[in-house]
Structure 1
Amino acid sequence: MKRFLITCARAPVSLELARNLNRHGHQVFMTDSLRFPLAKNSRSLTKFLITPSPRGNIDVYQAALLDIIAEHKIDYLLPMCEESFYISAIKASLAEYCEVLCPDFNLMRQLHSKYDILSLCDDTGITLPQTELLDFTHPITQTSLSNSIVKREFCRFGTDVLLSPTPDSVQKLHSNAAGRILKQEKIIGTEYCTYAIAVKGKVFAQAIYQPTHRLKVAAGIYFKPIKNKRVSDFIHAFCQKHEYTGHLGFDIIETADNIYIIECNPRATSGLHLLESANLADAFLGLKPQHPTSLNQAKMISVMMLIAGLPFAIHQRKINTWYQDYKQAKDVMICSQDYGFSWFQFISLAELIHIAIKDKISVREAATQDFEWDGETIK
């Protein structure tokens, strides 16, 4: 039995991982800066602990983690979301007391950059879309934006991405956001997302899926597993090339001839839900490759499918498709062994709504504002 410390208890993937580790006999401790994060009331937890936000408080955050690691004799620290970048930046100090399951900061930064990731993909069996950094010392014309998308170098969940850019919208994006803006060739094809767990370059678990239903054009709320050898071969080649340890995901578009990388997330992605039947501790510790039977079952966040997916399906006149998909998928929240948890997800959502109203931001922003990382100097 090992003791795992999982960060970002608010994320559905963190709840999934906690349940999995607990099911396989390990003790799970979780942290978050929210008072009522999603996984707090899960029966899978040995203990939940509140920490300060890492954003703008890295020294205080580091001290809090070190206290938790020492007091609870943590064996493995497993960062889940964008707090991973802050933990990676202080990895050396934490690694004196437990094993930190994420890459070094320099690699994490390159992976998170929508521009730098491309240079890491040479000789891995994937095609790179034509990409350039925009130079705002010269006028941006509509002709120059033809067949392109424009995005911030560091962004998340489809935000700050212009699918049909105009000179005005590009200038507005540039004015409202710090950091570099890039223009990328628009690739038309089938979109896939991935999730993988690797140790020293060897892949121990992976999932490839389609985010069939989304929050508008942003984050997926329905995850349909698929098999794709070209995508799988790329994942293996990439992890081997960089001797990768930790988890990561890619957004990929496949055309008739090629597969194109769009971006990389060096953290947990929703594909983790598809690995429910795997022994994820064995994967993270590099003990045994996993081939889970759960890769045959679509997963969904049913609350969001009802709140957001259903109205969108009605608007798009695709209610029958929505209904068929809804019937076939398994909810990622509800678990028969975690029955005390079911209603707690609404308390967690209420806290985010309260933050959104108080700070006059969207619920999406409220869910991530305290640990987002957009390329700023951390320490």
Structure 2
Amino acid sequence: MTTVLLTLGRLPKALDLARGFSKAGCRVLVAEPYGWTLAGASRHVAREFRVPAPAKGKAAYLAALTEIVVREGVDLVVPVSEETMHVAHLRGLLPPGTGLFTMPPGEVITLHDKSGFVRAAEAMGLAVPQSAPLGTAEAEALARGGPVVVKPVFSCSGRGLSILRGGEPLPPANPGEPAVVQRFVEGREHSTCTIAQEGRMVATMVYRGAVMSGSVAVAFERVEVPAINAWIERFVAGCGWSGFISFDFIVDAQGVPFAIECNPRATSGVHFWEPEDIARAVLEPAWAGPVRVRRHKALQQFYACLTETQGAMLRGKGFLASLKSLVTTRDVSWDWRDPWPFVSMIGTSWPIIWQAITKGARFGEVATQDVGWFEH
């Protein structure tokens, strides 16, 4: 039996991956700084291990993961979310024969870096917004020419992002937190998730946010945009990518997709695929698919959407639309054959809830604060 280690358990996408690998006949383990988590509550997870958070020490985190791999005879390590940038550094530390479903750390960090990603895409002749490092003459010229977006080169969940309309002064550059200035592209935002094997795009899901928590979608609908698929297929081939890889796009009025950033990891798009097919596509490099799509066109994270609906009621804006989405959309975690993750979600999500309350921050921001990669 193949033993798979997931390196995060707190997020719904970890639960989908756990269920998929289990249904594919694997023994599933979860390593997680929080201890008891959403995925760990599933009957599909054999065991969950508490590990140090990488934010508290990268070496201790990698040592704990390596110890689990060796002790439990892990065959494949699969990173789930923002911890991917740390987990990529396991390459070279794992026993012979143990797989790691992501690229080497240099390649992962390059694409996580918002400036590095733009350079990589431009080198392939792919459409990205004109960009320049904050603090340069090029960035100042961009800001004078029209609306721009300013964001740290290492961030997630919209942390530190600001949109400046034409003529507004740029913030001063901070050498300790480099940022990029990007031409603002008018259009509809789309997100994606791709499974890739050795430069081959095995499957891509394109989706749009229906209910947002800040800049993070907590309810989403899948859509078909062939031009986005073609963009991703060229990029994956150009990088020779293996692993999950995801992008955010703006599709302009002419239908041209501009990739505004890359997330070299899985995103919520995984919820639209049949979990067992995701596992097959990861386990078998030559998998020809198809990766079946679930029948639901729209999905939501119920408790996060409930919070946003309550907030909309208090703000007096958008309440009816949020309420309609809440009562009509399928939750990503619910499965009557495996109900405990949904039932126990308040308990397993308590560390995130408590931080959100005490810090006055949104769930998406605090959920990855201790596992994100925010430095060079």
**Which residue of the other structure, out of 251, 258, 264, is the alignment partner of 1:260?**
258
What residue in structure 2 maps to residue 343 of structure 1? 343
What residue in structure 2 maps to residue 163 of structure 1? 163
What residue in structure 2 maps to residue 220 of structure 1? 217
What residue in structure 1 maps to residue 184 of structure 2? 186
Q: How far off its partner does 1:363 sit? A: 5.1
What is the SS of the residue equivalent to 2:337? helix
Mapped pair 1:236 → 2:233:
yes
- Give, in whole Å, the separation in 1 of the partners of 2:319 and 2:138: 46
Normalised by the length of structure 1, the TM-score is 0.89
**Which residue of the other structure, out of 230, 248, 251, is the alignment partner of 1:251?**
248
| Gap regions ≥5 residues in structure 2 | none
- Give, in whole Å, the separation in 2 of the partners of 1:360 and 1:331: 25
> Is contact 2:131–2:139 with CA below 8 Å preserved after alignment?
no
Normalised by the length of structure 2, the TM-score is 0.89
- Give, in whole Å, the separation in 2 of the partners of 1:122 and 1:142: 17
Mapped pair 1:93 → 2:90:
no
Q: Read off the aligned partner of 1:266 and give its amino acid letter.
A: P
**Which residue of the other structure, out of 261, 272, 275, is the alignment partner of 1:274?**
272
- Partner deviation per Cα, 1:197-237 (whole Å, 9 max, x = no partner): 10101122221000121103x21101100011100111111
> Is contact 1:76–1:99 with CA below 8 Å preserved after alignment?
yes
Q: Read off the aligned partner of 2:274 and give its amino acid letter.
A: E
- Partner deviation per Cα, 1:121-157 (whole Å, 9 max, x = no partner): 2475741211111217999799637311111111111
Amino-acid identity (%): 23
- Give, in whole Å, the separation in 1 of the partners of 2:66 and 2:317: 52
- Partner deviation per Cα, 1:232-284 (whole Å, 9 max, x = no partner): 11111111111100001100011133210100000110101111355112111
Q: How far off its partner does 1:324 sit? A: 4.2
What residue in structure 2 maps to residue 66 of structure 1? 66
Q: How far off its partner does 1:95 sit? A: 5.3
> Is contact 2:202–2:288 with CA below 8 Å preserved after alignment?
yes
What is the SS of the residue equivalent to 2:45? coil
Q: Read off the aligned partner of 2:186 and give its amino acid letter.
A: I
> Is contact 1:117–1:264 with CA below 8 Å preserved after alignment?
yes
- 1:360-371 matches, within 5 Å, as 364-371=364-371
Q: How far off its partner does 1:116 sit? A: 1.1
> Is contact 1:275–1:295 with CA below 8 Å preserved after alignment?
no
Would the alpha carbon gap of residues 109 and 329 (structure 1) be closer, same or farther in structure 2, given more than 3 Å must change? same
- Number of residue pairs matched by the alignment: 372
Q: Read off the aligned partner of 2:129 and give its amino acid letter.
A: P
Would the alpha carbon gap of residues 228 and 58 (structure 1) be closer, same or farther in structure 2, given more than 3 Å must change? same
CA root-mean-square deviation:
2.8
> Is contact 1:124–1:234 with CA below 8 Å preserved after alignment?
no
- Give, in whole Å, the separation in 2 of the partners of 1:192 and 1:207: 10
> Is contact 1:277–1:294 with CA below 8 Å preserved after alignment?
no
Would the alpha carbon gap of residues 260 and 69 (structure 1) be closer, same or farther in structure 2, given more than 3 Å must change? same
- Give, in whole Å, the separation in 2 of the partners of 1:66 and 1:100: 12
Would the alpha carbon gap of residues 137 and 95 (structure 1) be closer, same or farther in structure 2, given more than 3 Å must change? farther
- Give, in whole Å, the separation in 2 of the partners of 1:123 and 1:227: 26
What residue in structure 2 maps to residue 208 of structure 1? 206
